[in-house]
């Protein structure tokens, strides 16, 4: 049991804020906050927002200072994390911090990708899905980092999204090739990123393709969510395909669900299977029924 705090990086109300979390229970978190005199209004579902001026004091009181990415990983692993899709706060800052960790100095490309992921016709395939995939990669690779090509593939895998299965992934891969080449990445990294993006069309990496399996597992992690979370996912997907009639959507969705159930394995990494496999099968079978 421990209390963690990240550096004051989050701007609001004319100052910077840190996040304070527990790796085991909200009761422990509330007790620490009460002892430190942190007001209840600072609690935001799974963490406390604390101003920069309190950082040193809270560390002295026993909070463990860790990088923001490490704090998020601890929170996810605890089971206390509120999924990004359930938050109303803008995701630009957390996504920017993640982008800067792999592509520092390429702000224009970040803003272009952010605009794409924020397109108004996206309901499931938006910024919250992108952040969820990146967080799933955190979980699967803890305590290490995912390879940069895998992270870049996550950023690009739905960068083009019009609701045309297969075509969207191909256009996203071509966009990755063009923009990453312009950014000066080595040819082999560009090619590998595009290859990984194309794998998200059918989620069938070849045996031994560890990086492909990693991205596919993270992309499908929503399938292993709690029933209410899965129901929101299905409803959002329906909105993404609002241009398709009910009968055609029902038939197409049933085919997708059957295809997912036939994937063997559905998840490739042991940690992914432990986290999501049983729940994914229950969710898919329930939807099909």
Q: Are 18 and 50 in contact (CB under 8 A)?
A: yes
Sign for the pseudo-dihedral over CA of 188, 194, 200, 206: negative
What are 3's strand-pairing partners? Answer: 22
In the predicted structure, residue 89 carries a pLDDT above the cut 70:
no
pLDDT band for position 165 (50/70/90)?
Answer: confident
Pairwise CA distance, residues 158 & 125, whole Å: 7
Q: Are 236 and 287 in contact (CB under 8 A)?
A: no
In the predicted structure, residue 280 carries a pLDDT above the cut 90:
yes
CA 67 to chain centre: 18
What beta strand segments (E) does 23-96 contain?
Answer: 48-51, 64-65
pLDDT band for position 119 (50/70/90)?
Answer: confident
If one compares 168 and 91, the residue with the highest pLDDT of the two is 168
In the predicted structure, residue 279 carries a pLDDT above the cut 90:
yes
In the predicted structure, residue 71 carries a pLDDT above the cut 50:
yes
Give residue 88's pLDDT: 42
- Cα distances (Å, whole numbers) of residue 258 to 98, 281, 284: 34, 11, 8
If one compares 170 and 14, the residue with the highest pLDDT of the two is 170
User: Can you tell me which residue has the tokens 């992108």?
Assistant: 130
In the predicted structure, residue 72 carries a pLDDT above the cut 90:
no
**Which whole number is the average pLDDT over 256-262?**
93
Give residue 83's pLDDT: 67
Radius of gyration of the chain (CA): 20
Quote the pTM value. 0.73
Give residue 202's pLDDT: 92
If one compares 17 and 273, the residue with the highest pLDDT of the two is 273
Mean pLDDT of the chain: 90
Give residue 65's pLDDT: 95
DSSP secondary structure code for residue 160 in this structure: S
pLDDT tens-place string over residues 4-56: 999 998 776 567 889 999 998 999 999 999 999 998 878 877 889 898 999 99
The residue among 162, 170, 173, 155 whose CA lies nearest residue 218 is 155
Give residue 268's pLDDT: 95
pLDDT band for position 242 (50/70/90)?
Answer: confident
Q: Classify burial at 135, counting beta carbons within 10 Å of its beta carbon; exposed 0-12, middle 13-18, buried 19 or more.
A: buried
pLDDT band for position 212 (50/70/90)?
Answer: very high
Sign for the pseudo-dihedral over CA of 94, 98, 104, 108: negative
């Amino acid at each position: 049991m421990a209390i963690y705090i990240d550096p004051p990086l989050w701007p609001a109300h004319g100052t910077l804020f840190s996040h304070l979390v527990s790796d085991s229970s909200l009761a422990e978190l509330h007790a620490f906050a009460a002892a430190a005199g942190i007001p209840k209004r600072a609690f935001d579902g799974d963490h406390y927002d604390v101003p920069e001026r309190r950082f040193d004091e809270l560390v002295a009181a026993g909070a463990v200072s860790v990088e923001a990415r490490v704090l998020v990983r601890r929170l996810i692993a605890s089971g206390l994390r509120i999924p990004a899709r359930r938050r109303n706060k803008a995701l630009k800052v957390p996504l920017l911090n993640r982008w800067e960790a792999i592509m520092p100095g390429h702000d224009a490309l970040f803003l272009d990708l952010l605009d794409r992921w924020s397109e108004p016709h996206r309901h499931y395939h938006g910024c919250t899905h992108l952040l969820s995939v990146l967080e799933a990669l955190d979980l699967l690779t803890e305590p290490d980092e995912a390879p940069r090509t895998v992270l870049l593939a996550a950023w690009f895998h739905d960068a083009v999204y019009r609701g045309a299965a297969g075509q969207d992934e191909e256009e996203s891969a071509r966009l990755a090739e063009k923009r990453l080449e312009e950014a000066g990445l080595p040819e082999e990294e560009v090619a590998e990123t595009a290859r990984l993006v194309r794998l998200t069309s059918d989620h069938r990496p070849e045996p031994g393709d560890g990086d492909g399996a990693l991205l596919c597992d993270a992309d499908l992690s929503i399938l292993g969510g709690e029933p209410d979370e899965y129901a929101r996912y299905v409803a959002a997907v329906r909105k993404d395909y609002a241009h398709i009639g009910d009968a055609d959507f029902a038939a197409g969705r049933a085919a997708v669900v059957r295809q997912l159930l036939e994937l063997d394995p559905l998840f490739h990494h042991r940690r992914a299977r432990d986290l999501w496999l049983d729940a994914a099968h229950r969710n898919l079978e329930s939807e099909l029924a």
